Structure 1
Amino acid sequence: MAGPTTAERGERQQLKSGPPRPPRLGRLRRLRVLIILSLAVVLAGGGSIWLLYGSSWLRVDHVSVSGTRVLTEAQVREAADVPLGSPLISVDTDAMAARLRRKLPRIDSVDVVRSWPHGIGLKVTERTPVLIVGIGGKFVEVDDEGVRFATVPHPPKGVPALELTVSRSAGMRRFGTGRLVREAVQVAQDIPAAVARDTRTVKVRSYDSISLELSGGRTVVWGSSEKGRAKAVTLTALMKAAPGARHFDVSVPSAPASAGS
């Protein structure tokens, strides 16, 4: 028995799937969906912009400060000049951080963060003095990078003084005061902790002539800042071996010397 013809198969398929949809109706439905989705996106975007910039819900109404040691929170707030009442999203955090470092040189770094929904947080890291320079009855603090960042009326406790007695020689012209200050800073950082507590002055006569004045009239010839760790280890051992000595020389750490009693 012969099977259905091609025409019969087509009629059966048409009966199963129903009458064909007019192509214009399908395009209209897709266009309607597209328009609705576009309107939803526009409304959502406009609502977000209004929420961030136009509403009163996300505006700056307080500033928190953390990390200060010498500076006061009031000083930091004043220098930051946070625009209270402004939209939180509009605060330029990078510009604020730069302004704080410019106005308050004691600040080494600062993180300015938005604390949603209403706050600005200022996380401050202050510079730490490793040396002080006496000038006109006051004291300039020098940090671990050789930066002179603050002038104070009284020397901070436990920070040795820097004494520059450098002649106007070829070495001075070659290295300059800034370089010699950084060399002294490096020496101050390399001094063993037990010796650092007794160090009163770091004296610099030239690049390779740096010495320490300790409590009790003791002195240490350190030399240059090179091989600082080796010199620190040698000085610790030398002081243990000669506890009564008053003068120590570790300028050549492989051949140290001590003298006096």
Structure 2
Amino acid sequence: MARRPTAPRPRPGTRRAAPTSAPAPQDPAPRRGAPVGRARPAPAPSEPAAAGPDPGEDGGGGGGRVVQAAGRFRELVAGRPWRRRRRAILATVAATVLVLVAGLAAAVFLPALQVQQVTVSGLDYVEEGDVQAAIEPHRGDSVLLLPSSDIAADVAEVPGVRDAKVERAWPDGVRVSVTEATPVGTLTRTDGSTAVIDAQGRELPEAASEAAGSELVPLTADGGAADPEGAAAAMSEVLASMPESLRGSVEKMTATSASDVRFVLSLEDGGTRTVVWGDAADAELKGKVVQALVAEPGTEIDVSSPVAPVTR
């Protein structure tokens, strides 16, 4: 029987070499079809270790205490809920305002809301056509933006109109209520022409004399008057401001200036009395003095200075 070869024995004086370690096992080759370069899944985070004592507090090493600040940074970056709600509310309000403005702008130019119908009331001697002509420039204006004060001012410029009230009449109309001026006298000018005037001395339409009947007082500015227009205005103001009981007894009135108004007063016994009135001031006091002195003898009562009246 053949013998197995034996390993050679080491020589005396030599050291036996240590056995070499086995090579480290390498990662197995990737399977065919597996993605190359994909990172391995990170291990699940373990529970944070209990916080130990701060080395900096007990005089230990120089390290500081670890503070979990992730939550604080998250609040700074992410908007707070009430801020998000405020932005949503502001956006809703802005959108609503834009819709309302757009609707109003569309309504202003809507033909169905433009002035077409005009109704005028309160007329006696003033012609309705004159009032309609004053309103004509405002036809086509929007009823929503109706310039009521402008229309009333234009209507008040019509002869015989004292004032006017303007109201909307939906959807496309306007109602105008007119108050006519009250005629107080018939003025005879220096050139012989006549005109019916109101208490402000404004000339009224001729139809006003028919409306007033025989109640108009003849007013005459003397031919030598330096200011016929001022004299006429003063006479109309005096006639309008004197007491009603006295006005009904005035037969006629004349003036050479605004401060020299006089008139003839008819008495109950059929006689007359001339009254020197002066200017239009202190009408109430002058009226009371005339009524107190009308029974005194004489033909003239001078109340141009009512605190010192004179009878002649």
Q: Assess same fold via TM > 0.5.
A: yes
C-alpha contact 1:132 1:160 (8 A) present in aligned 2: yes
Instruction: Give the superposition deviation at 1:146.
Output: 2.0
> What percentage of residue pairs aligned between the two structures are identical?
21
Partner of 2:103: 47
TM-score of the pair, normalised by structure 2: 0.59
Specify the alignment match of 2:244 in structure 1: 193
Change (3 A) 1:73 1:33: same
User: For each residue in 1:211-233, what CA deviation from the matched residue of structure 2 results, as whole angstroms up to 9, or x when unmatched?
Assistant: 22234451322241254433211
Structure 2 residue corresponding to 1:164, chosen from 221, 224, 227:
221
Which protein has the bigger helix share? Answer: 1
Paired residues, number: 242
Equivalent position of 1:184 in the other structure: 235
The structure having more radius of gyration, on CA atoms, is 2
What is the distance in 1 between the residues matched to 2:89 and 2:290?
A: 82
SS in 2 for 1:141: strand
Evaluate the alpha carbon distance shift between residue 186 and residue 115 of structure 1 in structure 2; reply closer, same or farther with a 3 A threshold. same
Alpha-carbon spacing, 1:21–1:4, altered in 2? closer, same or farther (3 Å)? farther
Q: Which runs of 5+ in 2 are unaligned?
A: 1-50, 55-64
* Secondary structure of 1:70 counterpart: coil
Distance in 2 separating the partners of 1:130 and 1:233: 21
Matches within 5 A, 1:17-32: 23=78
The 8 Å contact of residues 277 and 302 in structure 2, kept in 1 or not, is answered as: yes
Alpha-carbon deviations, 1:62-100, whole Å to 9, x = none? 333344343255653354227666532354445534443
Residue matched to 2:135: 80
Give the 3-state SS of the residue equivalent to 1:130 in structure 2.
Answer: strand
State how far apart, in whole Å, the 1-side matches of 2:194 and 2:98 are.
62
| Pair 1:232-2:287 in alignment | yes
Q: Which residue of 1 aligns with 2:301?
A: 249
Alpha-carbon distance between aligned partners in 2 of 1:214 and 1:59, rounded to the nearest angstrom = 56
The aligned residue for residue 120 of structure 1 is: 174
| RMSD over aligned Cα atoms | 4.2
Q: For the Cα contact (< 8 Å) 1:190–1:232, is it kept in 2?
A: no
Question: TM-score, with normalisation over the residues of structure 1?
Answer: 0.69
Question: What's the secondary structure of 1:71's corresponding residue?
Answer: coil
Which one has a larger percent strand, Structure 1 or Structure 2? 1
Q: Which has the higher contact order (CA 8 A, sep 6+)?
A: 1
